[in-house]
Structure 1
């Protein structure tokens, strides 16, 4: 590829990124200037599997190995905005995926503990984060669908896939003032919620929006009533 074509490709890439921010993310009420700048700094396409790189800025979930997905760009940005992450915050992420959401969280916080159940995705996330010189992250392999108190309590907890029922363990591992984002419910009726620990043992829940995404592996099932 000659230099002129490389410059053209770079220009087209940046225009597509700009369109994603302006047409998908801003229009979904994500207006925090620092978050919008971060979407230009952390290059999403470099975390997307090669086979789907051309779809990196599309409003869709990107397939990963073992039936997992990357959330849509607007969902990732909205989660960041709702959590009001500070540079002093200790974050727990359930589901590392490709490492992109992990990278965004790491840029906003002091340290991210991210737990991934799929070994291949743990490796993928580690490689991607290392390539971007993001080091304030600890990725561990394990099943955290019912909580991960190992490094708690946390200031922020993010579940990157849905759960039919949110185990109480998660909110119990929040520091006072801590925030928890989760998508709760079963297809087709899921709801994104934000839980805040207002004082030790006291919590408020804010309903954010309706959505639908894949469940965490081994997520706590809802009770089934038999008539």
Structure 2
């Protein structure tokens, strides 16, 4: 099995040689940053259609974490195109953080279509360093399909805990590594090196649930599911919320 894995990984790398050349020349990152928002604007439409029930379930109790005034302050890390906006409760204030400024025009389109929300600002920053967001300043942090692609999920969660007020909550929905005994996990391993380059740093084999379990939240509600998605490689998912 290990030999087959190595041979297939080599074959995939050979097929993806042009991408590796562009990466070596320092051009692929620039291309990916420009291309990825266009891809994600289409992918999230499909993803939301297939995951709408799970998202409604996930975000159904957001309002319970509103502050004393009853107003919910929400920070979305890795906001992308704003695919989660329609699932947020009316009247909540939303601050968005994403390291890719090319998402801005797609994000503002979603904002214009989400009049039930109060938009605060868009911060161009990596989730590992959100120094523009004050300590203990938000009720809820949301992160969906992000932990798979960040450089340090551990540092992201440290920042989440910093910006959350005491008793605030972190909501997540992420694709993760499949069970090691499955063919899905085998093909995740085969394609992961090239997938990482093509999809802007996304890891197919990341075990994000382990990072969440070790992050230091006072309470963690986490479920493993097989998402009803067209792409089998990203069907293994976790979702839930954690309380500071």
Give the TM-score, by structure 1 length: 0.50
Higher relative contact order (CA 8 A, sep 6+): 2
Give the TM-score, by structure 2 length: 0.47
**Higher helix fraction (1 or 2):** 2
